[in-house]
Amino acid sequence: MSTTPNSRLALRHHSAHNGGVIRKRVLARGEVQGVGFRFHARAEAQQLGLGGYARNRPDGSVELEIEGREASVSRMLHWLECGPRYAVVTALEVSDVAAIGENDFQITD
């Protein structure tokens, strides 16, 4: 996935993809806690058939891992650029991690 940062979002993305099942670790920064970000992310991930998790981090960011078909992961990454209605995403840090065969998406602590 190739993205061009816009004035609202600085997106760092490192990718090596194989066209099958992939897993990404994402740190969403900005106003992403207290706005339903994790719950909306879970709904979006479930709609796209993705596994993984979302959790708040002490620094105010939200950490996610998303796993599934490359096209669905790409759609999720695109959704995460803005997040839910009241979120203000200022940056996404995206990196590859090994797929583990996870099919369910959870909100964790």
Looking at 23, 29, 38, 42, which residue is catalytic?
A: 38
56 a catalytic residue: yes
18 a catalytic residue: no
Looking at 25, 55, 56, 69, which residue is catalytic?
A: 56
Rounding to the nearest 10 degrees, give the CA dihedral for residues 21, 27, 29, 32: 70
Which residues fall within 8 angstroms of residue 36, CB to CB, at 6 or more apart?
Answer: 84, 86, 87
Catalytic residues: 38, 56
